[in-house]
Structure 1
Amino acid sequence: MIPIRGFEGRKVAVFGLGRTGLTAARALVAGGAQVALWDDGEKGRAEAQAEGLALTDLNTADWSDFAALMLSPGVPLTHPKPHWTVDRAKASGVEILGDIELFARTLALVPEHKRPKVAAITGTNGKSTTTALLGHVCRMAGRDTRIGGNIGFGVLGLPDMHGGAVYVLELSSYQLDLTSSLKPDAAVLLNISPDHLDRHGGMEGYVNSKKRILLNQVKGDTAVIGVDDEWCQRICTEITAANRRTIRPISASKSMGRGVYALQGVLYDATGERVMTVADLLRARSLPGRHNWQNAAAAYAAARALGIPAEEAAEGLMTFPGLAHRMETVGQIGRVRFINDSKATNADAARQAMSSYPNFYWIGGGQPKAGGIEALADLFPRINKAYLIGEGADEFGRTLEGKASYVKTGTLEAATAAAYADAAASGEDAVVLLSPACASFDQFSDFEQRGDAFRAAVEGLVRPAARGARA
């Protein structure tokens, strides 16, 4: 745990008692703060009480007593409308912040010789893979590496700081909205495409949230920015003109005079006096496809910014074991392979997986995002058949009508069984791909639970198949 500094003896309101809120509450108490905890749901309040943490009904509390409101990132700050705690905090002049900001303020109070290195990663797609990949590279290079934020552990639940540590943090747009003073040694902005627009009031608000990762960098810090989309390309141009830090553009689609880029699976470093070949990513089994080449370029550039030698960074890329729920092979029955890409919660993320296979049996649907899957129309010819689940089934069916064969199966388990039956009947090597292009909240608590349910459904198919083979 990282005890929070700067709030000793002061009272901090904590709203939202999921993983982030409870972790922040523990860290605040460990640092000497007094906490007032509340959640609109009975489940969150019960979990806090089960840990022996006292509750304070923030509906009736005196907000003038609070030094700050620690808001969990899932709670609306501005859109579709501010949560009632946000209105109460603003009315009382109480500062609103998140767990990453608490981390940043504690970091700023650490003496320079004891201060760890920090890499922060964001983007619409690929941030979890890049975070895990950079963490793996750092560990393979012998660094004391802590990985967290929007992936795995909440940042404040990671081990305490020391001068030799490296924190590799995935940051969502929700977390960045609540962060104002973080100054990462390496800030990574992978890409931007429309997502979470309801929470940010439109595309401009979403882009501005992502840009906050670069907010406080100064000379000596490094910004790693993907330039394969128009929004990030514009941001890269803007901060290059500001000339305050080292800029490392990255690309998976073009060569560049400076930066790190991948062409046809070969990674190049053009940050020095000559272009250097880094690695043949076609040999990296856990990094298939152009989107993963961008992730590899970003992780390599960030690793170099953290002081890891080029040879060690390249070796780390090649030994990466992969990330759960992102193009993860979870089973094979005969000639049918099952790919878990539950992390693909929007169309752009699903495109990355769908582009990696010439044809597949596709499981899609869930809680649809704005725009649905219309942007994937060029990939519909690759779909042997689609199996549609959840709230998005009707909408996706209308989009696929006349363009790809589909059936509405309702549940993930039924979709998996139906897809396997059709794939096995083809008599050919086949891929069953779960890449939903939707949020999971209509049927699951998160994409991880959805991916685990897919794995369980595949295992349920494997057992009868194994019994049949023995018979």
Structure 2
Amino acid sequence: MIPVTCLKGQDIALFGLGGSGLSTARALAEGGAKVTVWDDAPARVEAARAEGLTATDLRQIDWSCVSALVLAPGVSLTHPVPHWSVQLAQEHGVEIIGDIELFCRERRHLASKARMIAITGTNGKSTTTALITHLLKALGLDAQMGGNIGVPILDLAPLSDERVYVVECSSYQIDLAPGLDATVGVHLNLSPDHLDRHGSMENYAAIKERLVASARIAVVGVDDEMSAAIAQRQDLASMPVWRISAQGPVEQGIWLQGSTLMRSEAGDAHAVADLAGIDTLRGAHNGQNAAAAFASLCALGLEPEAIAAALRSFGGLHHRMELVARAGKILFVNDSKATNADAAARALSSYERIYWIAGGKPKAGGIASLDAFFPKIAKAYLIGEAAEAFAATLEGKVATELCGTLDKAVIAAARDAGADASAEVAVLLSPACASFDQFPNFEKRGEAFAEAVKALPVVQEHQETV
């Protein structure tokens, strides 16, 4: 735990007692703040009380004494409407912050030399965060990974000048961190997502940009127009920026040429790492992730040769193009983290013949944008609320089967993949949807896929579960 001592003795209101919210409440209390917590879910309130936290409806407290409202990132700050706790704070002139902001303040307070690598982007940020952490540990550094990737940031090991904190940041978290000041700020890409929470693509992009604009060194993907414009604004502000690309050369930074990472500097381009044969970094999108990780460690002054060697031992990220089993020619791939079409595109681009399991709670735009990949899909097995809409999009282009549930889809896809004469085929769960119609989160969906795969006779026969 990282106790938040910089607010010691102050009255703090906290709303939202999910995983990160409860972690933040503990850290504030441990640091000596007088914290009052609340949540709209009575069970969460009772759980907080059971831990000895002061839980009082924030509509009943004296806001004139409150120094800050700490808001859990899942609670609406602006759109579609501010949460009632936000409105109360605004009415009383109380600042509204989140756990990332508390970490940044405590870091400045206690361990100003501790390095922080913060990562954001619409897609790829979890893989990049995990890869950076792996590389740092492989090179002998004490790397702490948390934030949006699963471990609340204030649950990490106590602040120390010797540690490197690798933090995945969602747009929600950045919006609540006005003092975010990473050593290296990484922005990967932008595509429409969470617009219900930010109102417009322009607002969404502006929030993402804050992470790199306030960093000491920026690493910025330039493969989409809005992100390229962010890099240009870094130039105009005379701020150091490493450009990264999976599509072609950049003037100063790291880029992908085939399976080779290239580095451009001072007019020279030379190879720095070969990704060929690293299954966990398969595909151009993972080339961008690897480029971001490579640039980040170079920005910290680490040796390129050592970084390149450490890439080869990366074990991958759970639920992101995760090979869960191999049965002869059939690869069973868990890409449950692909909760929108753009994320699914990254997996679809990485295999040549695909038996695709897709569907769930649909997001705006559906899967029409994936039409370039339809020729690679031997058949689609559709589940959840989106099944019929996806079937309509695929009609006349891809054979489909309405399976309804994930377990049925796995059985059907394995059956058809086994009859395919191709040298290699992939049974790919890459839903292009949120999980919330049938599963509480994408992790549970991925775990259900893995269990269904392990139960298949063809997998048990080959005993090649990864």
Look up the match of 1:196. Answer: 194
- 1:444 maps to 439
After TM superposition, give the deviation of residue 158 of structure 1 in Å: 0.1
Matches within 5 A, 1:6-45: 6-45=6-45
Instruction: Find the aligned partners of 2:214 and 2:231 in 1 and give their Cα distance.
Output: 15
Q: Is the 8 A contact 2:252 2:264 kept in 1?
A: yes
Partner of 2:208: 210
Deviation at 1:465, TM superposition (A): 4.6
Q: Which residue of 2 aligns with 1:187?
A: 185
Equivalent residue number for residue 338 of structure 1: 332
Question: TM-score by structure 2 length?
Answer: 0.96
Corresponding letter in the other structure for 2:174: L
Please name the residue that 2:165 is paired with: 167
Structure 1 residue 103 corresponds to structure 2 residue 103: yes
Q: CA 1:462–1:173 in 2, change beyond 3 Å: closer, same or farther?
A: farther
Deviation at 1:338, TM superposition (A): 0.7
Counterpart for residue 218 of structure 2: 223
CA distance in 2, matches of 1:94, 1:75: 17
Say if 2:352 is the partner of 1:358. Answer: yes
Counterpart secondary structure, 2:85: helix
8 A Cα contact 2:274 2:308, kept in partner? no
1:276: Cα distance to partner? 3.0
Opposite residue 15 of structure 1, the aligned amino acid is F
Matches of 1:73 and 1:458, distance apart in 2:
34
Residue 169 of structure 1: CA displacement?
0.5
Q: Residue 462 of structure 1: CA displacement?
A: 4.3
| Structure 1 residue 300 displacement after superposition | 0.5
Whether the aligned pair in 2 keeps the contact of 1:364 and 1:438 (CA below 8 Å) is yes
Distance in 2 separating the partners of 1:261 and 1:77: 36
Task: Tell me how far apart the structure 1 counterparts of residues 15 and 254 of structure 2 sit (CA, whole Å).
Answer: 41
Q: Deviations over 1:147-177 (max 9, x none)?
A: 0111131110000111111001100111111
Which residue is 1:56 aligned to? 56
Query: What is the aligned counterpart of 2:294 among 269, 294, 300?
Result: 300
Query: 1:242-261 residue pairs with structure 2 within 5 A?
Result: 242-243=237-238, 245-261=239-255
CA distance in 2, matches of 1:190, 1:306: 18
Paired residue type of 2:246: A
TM-superposition CA deviations, 1:211-254 (whole Å, max 9, x none): 1102323xxx21000111111011111111110x2110011111
RMSD between superposed Cα atoms in Å: 1.8
CA distance in 2, matches of 1:18, 1:111: 28
Report the equivalent of 1:389.
383
Separation in structure 2 between the aligned mates of residue 44 and residue 186 of structure 1, nearest angstrom: 35
Residue in 1 that maps onto 2:407: 413
SS of 2:456's equivalent? Answer: helix
1:94 matched residue in structure 2: 94
- Residue identity matched to 2:171: S
Q: Could you tell me how far 1:3 is from its partner in structure 2?
A: 1.1
Instruction: Report % sequence identity.
Output: 50
Q: Show the counterpart of 1:372.
A: 366
**What SS does the aligned partner of 2:378 have?**
strand
1:270 Cα offset (Å): 1.5
**Any conservation in 2 of the 1:333–1:462 contact (CA below 8 Å)?**
no
Q: What is the one-letter code of the residue matched to 2:362? A: P
Q: TM-score, normalised by structure 1?
A: 0.95
In structure 2, the residue matched to 1:176 is 174
Shift of 1:77: 0.7
Q: Paired residues, what number? A: 463
Counterpart CA distance in 1 for 2:442 and 2:330 is 23
Could you list the per-position Cα deviations for residues 282-336 of structure 1 after superposition, in whole angstroms to 9, with x for gaps in the alignment? 1322100100011111001101112211112112222211111110011123432
Q: Which structure 1 residue ranges, 5 or more long, are not aligned?
A: none
Q: Structure 2: how far apart are the matches of 1:124 and 1:27?
A: 29
